[in-house]
Structure 1
Amino acid sequence: MSFLSLQGIEASYGPTQALFGVDLSLEEGAVCALMGRNGMGKSSTVKVICRLLKHSVGQVYFKGRDMAMLPPHKAAQAGMGLVPEGRRCFPNLTVYENLIAAARTGHWDFARVTGLFPRLAERRDQSAASLSGGEQQMLAIGRALMTNPRLLLLDEATEGLAPVVRQEIWAALRILKSETGMALLVVDKSLRDLRQVADSAVILERGATVWAGAIGDVTPAVADQYLGV
């Protein structure tokens, strides 16, 4: 069984169904790009994996464990780290306080996180609310790393950021892939940037998996059919 496996996932928000059949697999230490146009179910899929949204049909396995009955904090304890859409840093806490809020003992500590993102060391005693959008995104990634996850999920981690900051974050993801052996599930719209870090891709349309394979096999025709505006 894959390190992370989703099979036939269906899920709803109240009476509104959001996922209609999501299949996804990710091997340990690999990087998967989760792609699709806006509103196609990517964030809902991430929420199902992290147990923030319960699925009604299908199976979610992580490290061979059925995740169906676990609450979100148990999923985190099992080794999942989430960088949510919109960052959601604690605005009134300092950078340091944000980083240690949910920290767990392991490889990733304050020194290593600030080695990856030196600006966080410079802003250590500033409130998160005073940071730029890019710095808040670095803080959100650093906070997730401080939980020392085996699987890091990034939901639109470069959305709305300046190009130079986007490239800093992509460079950090390449470091995470090459030096840590951590598995990554990355939701993003930039196929060009994803090609530099991802091994595989899963494309969603209308809440269902419509394409899955190696990232290098995402042809212009596939991109135009499922990712074009």
Structure 2
Amino acid sequence: MSQPRTAVVTGASSGIGAATARRLAAEGFHVFCAARRRDRIEALAAEIGGTPVECDVTSEPSVAALAGLVGERLDVLVNNAGGAFGSAPVAGADEEDWRRMYEVNVIGLMRVTRALLPALLASGAGTILNVGSTAGRVAYEGGAGYTAAKHGTKVVTETLRLELWDQPVRVMEIAPGMVRTDEFALVRFEGDRQKADAVYAGVAEPLVAEDVADAIGWMVTRPPHVNVDQLVIKPRAQAAQHKVHRQG
């Protein structure tokens, strides 16, 4: 009897991460749901038959514990843990916000990938999928810290692909545009619901987490010789970062 396919999803406690965990479970993966908020990942893991792992990607011991729990073999890693903090211009930037964004979106991604790469290689056909952003491709006012971090996600992905070109592992990135989730904008604007809602004001159909999870599910289930290097996904209403159709 063959072993069940396994997947790790970081940042699985909400939004794209939780939706991705559900989608991969539906595809037949046993999912390790990794995030800091244990109550949420325990509920999610119970729902999908996965394994909850309390994990902070900014902590080396925490990531080492994740790798120990996963074991010697892993089929898919979805580096989803990330976040945007603040929207100040460079002249008024908060150093701690920038540091936190780089720590989770770039260093955390590196830390988890480094820890789990041996298990991905051992599978004989591993997949690393990094959740980037259209912010990793286009600069915009008030977003320098986040766009710099997500450009980092993009470049780390490209470098990994070059470094692992002769190994049995694929390296992919999905770059979503406007996605309405319960927490992303709210966290960015430090709980200011009015500012968070203004991001999506008048947009009839922004993407939702399930749209991105659906694309991730497709990407990681292509035949092993097919590498979807990068997939940019936006709502129809968003032609570019600065050009969004708003009604009313």
TM range (shorter): 0.3 to 0.5
| Higher RCO, 1 vs 2 (CA within 8 Å, ≥6 residues apart) | 1
Pick the structure with more strand per residue. 1
Pick the structure with more helix per residue. 2
Scaled by the length of structure 1, what TM-score is found?
0.34
Scaled by the length of structure 2, what TM-score is found?
0.32
